[in-house]
Amino acid sequence: MGGVASEPSGQWSIRINIPACSLELLQDGEVWREFPIAVGKATTPTPVGEFTISNIIKNPTWYPVGKPPVPPGAENPLGGYWLGLSIASYGVHGNNNVSSIGYPQSNGCIRMLNNDLQVLVGLVRVGTPVEIVYETVILKNILDKTWLTIFPDIYHRQTELKTAILRKIDEHPLLYPVHWEALWQFIGGKRPLVIEAPQKLPLLLDGVESQSAGFIWGDNVFLPSELTGIWGVESHKNYLELTEFMRLYAGQVYGIFDQQEKKISLYTLRIYCNGDLFPIRGWYQDEPFLPIKLVTFLQEKLITISRMSPLERSSFAEGEEAWVPLSVIKRCWPQLIVEWDALNWILRIDY
């Protein structure tokens, strides 16, 4: 046997956030429904504080200052209902200008769409609590992601956005550590802005945790572009997507993102010269290649120690002046002790 759906029951309250231009109807402290609204202009701001509904008037008459009263009807900017607040001259009401909803365009009152206000009037009563706040940052945890919504500071009351974000994060438990540097970079631009907080990921370079961290944002994993410096390259980007990084440095690095442990592991061709790790990594294509800076260093040492001749330019292929194949090094300088560990990508050179 079919039944009739009953109206929601419980203790109702209203929460209005001015920068968000939103009115939340709460049932027993939980958001039951959210409505778009218009709030006061910067020159006629909506007041902040805790109030109650003091009266509910159907088909109200509007009494503008210095002008004749406007009776109920299509020309009345109050719409079909007036919900007066316990602060003189302010209330929640309907409207005759739908395009104003979602913007700071009123003289301080809260405007709603007429159909939305009809829903509200059917549930709230005189005495219903109304809280009006000014929050430019909203944080929500949805599934396994933390989302920030940043609204315009319409009344210019926000001292610093970073401070507001950190304060909001202090009020809510985070699902994961945030990569702050990336977040600060991403929050520039227009408002409102909805953004996923980038999750900080430990970054292991050749088995050693790096001081710089990566992060996951959306479905992509990102690395700090400063990593390009280990091949003597300077990047103009702040971050590089992991697959792009692997493509750009194919043969020079391979990487693994562990989805379970949430960490990134990168492995490079390391070159040890007399036991010391050379700061610039090599790369591999059929055989290891050495950076020309290391070759120059070795050449200077060998000339000094054994008076060996400099490596001839013709010893390696045209266009490869930045890298020299290991086979060329071994052929030209046979006195070097060379050990290549192909499994672990480690090249040891002693002179």
Known catalytic residues are 93, 109
* Cα first-last separation, the chain: 93
What is the bridge-based pairing of β-strands 129-133 and 12-17? parallel
For residue 192, what are its two tokens?
């409102």
Q: Specify burial of residue 109 (Cβ count, 10 A radius: 0-12, 13-18, 19+).
A: buried
Asked whether the beta carbons of 264 and 203 are under 8 A apart, the reply is yes
Cβ neighbour number for residue 16 with a 10 Å cutoff: 22
Give, as one character, the DSSP assignment of residue 231: G
Of 148, 261, 247, 127, which Cα lies nearest the Cα of 196?
148
Give, as one character, the DSSP assignment of residue 282: B
Q: Phi and psi (nearest 5°) for 80?
A: -90, -15
Residues 346, 342: Cα–Cα separation, whole Å: 7
For every residue of 119-153, DSSP letters joined together read HHHTT--TT-EEEEE--SEEEEEETTEEEEEE---
